[in-house]
């Protein structure tokens, strides 16, 4: 098993990388999203912003992988930004009434369970678990479904089309998200075992 500092590629400990800045930018835009939705009653503007923030998640991942900007901080910051953005977005849409209640509750329930599991594993000394591509795909689907649900309740002329597209993203997104959560169970078990072995050295 690798020692903590072995196997790290150059740059993993960097803080100021483009992906990290994009993740921070997503977090800083959350108040703007809430302002557009509730302060300005601008559902279309809030929907476009939320969709754009969701798209940056894939941009920062692409930049990190293809330009050697993967960092330890980024592996923590990126999923954290995803969770906060998705959680705040879903709660806001539930309050606004622009997303079906069961869809919003299902998405939130999954996020809460995963977050609690991550905290428990960390407290037990498990090694950190990287996000899987299935989990990323599920998040991607939901991050576009919710803006489209919001747009379907706006004054846009194509709001009905956005409503159809929202369902086409939401259902696969939820399925993939819950499937990913299930696949994390054996991964979490191995992470806990490896973390305990490492702590005994």
How many domains in the chain?
1
**DSSP letter at 7?**
T
Residue 5, in any domain of the structure: no
Residue 88, in any domain of the structure: yes
Average pLDDT over residues 14-22: 85
SS3 29: coil
Instruction: Tell me: pLDDT of 3 over 50.
Output: no
Residue 8, in any domain of the structure: no
SS3 5: coil
Banded model confidence at residue 201, pLDDT cuts 50, 70, 90: low
Residue 129, both tokens: 């678990």
Report pLDDT for 39: 95
Instruction: Tell me: pLDDT of 40 over 70.
Output: yes
What is the reported pTM?
Answer: 0.82
Banded model confidence at residue 13, pLDDT cuts 50, 70, 90: low
What pLDDT digit, counting tens, does each position of 95-153 carry?
999 999 999 999 999 999 988 988 888 888 888 787 788 988 998 899 999 999 999 99
Instruction: Tell me: pLDDT of 5 over 60.
Output: no
Residue 22, in any domain of the structure: yes
Sign, CA torsion 28/34/39/40: positive
The per-residue pLDDT of the chain, averaged, comes to: 87
Banded model confidence at residue 12, pLDDT cuts 50, 70, 90: low
Residue 193, in any domain of the structure: yes
Q: Which of 27-36, 54-63, 137-146: highest mean pLDDT?
A: 27-36
Residue 40, both tokens: 């300005």
What pLDDT digit, counting tens, does each position of 147-200 carry?
999 999 999 999 999 999 999 999 999 999 999 999 988 988 888 888 766 665
| H or E element, residue 111 | helix 101-123
d(CA 183, CA 102): 23
Report pLDDT for 199: 60
Query: Of the candidates 73, 81, 59, which has an alpha carbon nearest to the alpha carbon of residue 8?
Result: 73
Domain that holds residue 134: 18-200
d(CA 164, CA 149): 9
Average pLDDT over residues 40-63: 90
Instruction: Tell me: pLDDT of 85 over 80.
Output: yes
Instruction: Tell me: pLDDT of 2 over 50.
Output: no
Residue 2, in any domain of the structure: no
Q: What is the CATH number of the domain that holds 87?
A: 1.20.120
Instruction: Tell me: pLDDT of 88 over 60.
Output: yes
d(CA 88, CA 31): 10
Residue 196, in any domain of the structure: yes
């Amino acid at each position: 098993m690798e020692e903590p500092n072995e196997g790290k590629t150059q740059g993993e400990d960097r803080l100021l990388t483009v992906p990290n800045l994009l993740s921070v930018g997503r977090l800083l835009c959350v108040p703007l999203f809430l302002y557009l939705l509730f302060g300005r009653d601008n559902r279309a503007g809030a929907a476009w912003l939320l969709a754009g923030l969701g798209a940056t998640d894939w941009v920062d991942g692409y930049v990190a992988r293809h330009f050697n900007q993967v960092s330890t901080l980024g592996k923590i910051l990126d999923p954290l930004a995803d969770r906060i953005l998705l959680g705040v977005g879903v709660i806001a849409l539930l309050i606004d009434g622009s997303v079906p209640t069961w869809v919003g509750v299902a998405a939130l329930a999954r996020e809460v369970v995963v977050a609690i599991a991550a905290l428990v594993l960390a407290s037990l000394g498990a090694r950190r678990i990287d996000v899987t591509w299935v989990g990323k795909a599920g998040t991607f689907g939901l991050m576009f479904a919710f803006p489209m649900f919001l747009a379907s309740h706006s004054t846009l002329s194509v709001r009905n089309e956005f409503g159809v597209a929202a369902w086409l993203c939401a259902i696969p997104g939820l399925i993939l998200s819950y499937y990913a959560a299930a696949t994390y169970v054996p991964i979490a078990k191995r992470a806990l075992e490896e973390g305990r072995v490492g702590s005994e050295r």
